[in-house]
Amino acid sequence: MVCGGFACSKNALCALNVVYMLVGLLLIGVAAWARGLGLVSSIHIIGGVIAVGVFLLLIAVAGLVGAVNHHQVLLFFYMIILGLVFVFQFGISCSCLAINLSKQTDVINASWWVMSNKTRDELERSFDCCGLFNLTTLDQQDYAFCTAICKSRSPTCQMCGEKLLKHSDEALKILGGVGLFFSFTEILGVWLAMRFRNQKDPRANPSAFL
């Protein structure tokens, strides 16, 4: 059977939805890793990427069921929702790539002082760093009370802001790049679902075809 027939469209749509499931899991995993950094969890874009990943995973399951059963209604809503996911994911991915170091620094600096002293102490011990950016008197006071191990080995420790900035920039680039690349495949998914929905199942009763 030539590609473009019922079986080929069905297999292509199923394969694409399996890819969507993997992409959804990848987005959730990378974003969850980024949120585990602590301060990066304050960047709402990462929370948005997790939401997109979960939603994409659910839509992929619905699309897979619709493709296997050639379910007209399920495929219709799959096309509509997948198109909306494309718009949302495209916007979020572009936002991740557009955030520069200056903006990330502002977000990290603002988030640092919202944290409790206990949370900051745990973060300093976890990253083995002290203070944030050493820009203000508060930063210097925070550095003085630091309990990280590096302070017992050396009179000076690396600033936490430098480490957090490096990790947050890396996480945003990964999230933005992966999300932007796979967002375009969602347009392919909409087209395949539309094509497959209007094709006739050769094994079905002709009178049952809509």
Q: In a structure prediction context, what are the per-residue pLDDT tens digits for the chain, which is 210 residues long?
A: 445 677 788 888 888 888 888 878 887 887 777 666 554 444 566 777 777 788 778 888 888 888 888 888 888 998 898 888 788 878 888 888 888 877 877 877 777 777 777 777 777 777 777 777 765 555 566 666 777 777 777 767 777 777 778 877 888 888 888 878 878 888 888 888 888 888 776 766 555 544
How does pLDDT run across 81-94, given as a tens digit for each residue?
A: 888 878 887 888 88
Asked, for residue 82, whether it belongs to a domain, the answer is yes
- Same domain? 92 vs 106: no
Asked, for residue 174, whether it belongs to a domain, the answer is no
- Same domain? 60 vs 122: no
- Same domain? 56 vs 70: yes
Q: What is the pTM of this model?
A: 0.62
CA dihedral 36, 38, 39, 40 (to 10 degrees): 0
Instruction: Please give, one letter per residue, the 3-state secondary structure of 144-155.
Output: HCCCCCHHHHCC
Backbone angles phi, psi at 30, to 5 degrees: -65, -45
* Residue 135 DSSP symbol: -
- Same domain? 16 vs 85: yes
- Same domain? 124 vs 86: no
Q: Which domain holds residue 186?
A: 9-97+179-198
- Same domain? 50 vs 24: yes
- Same domain? 129 vs 85: no
Asked, for residue 151, whether it belongs to a domain, the answer is yes
The whole-number pLDDT of residue 2 equals: 46
The whole-number pLDDT of residue 39 equals: 44
- Same domain? 134 vs 107: yes
Asked, for residue 205, whether it belongs to a domain, the answer is no
Asked, for residue 204, whether it belongs to a domain, the answer is no
- Same domain? 93 vs 183: yes
Backbone angles phi, psi at 159, to 5 degrees: -75, 140
- Same domain? 45 vs 113: no
CA distance 12 to 2: 13
How does pLDDT run across 10-50, given as a tens digit for each residue?
A: 888 888 888 888 878 887 887 777 666 554 444 566 777 77
Asked, for residue 206, whether it belongs to a domain, the answer is no
Q: Exposure pattern of 46-67 as b/e (b: 16+ CB <10 Å)?
A: bebbbbbbebbbebbebbbebb
Domain count across the chain = 2
DSSP string, 24-38: HHHHHHHHHHHHTTS
Asked, for residue 88, whether it belongs to a domain, the answer is yes
- Same domain? 74 vs 125: no
- Same domain? 19 vs 92: yes
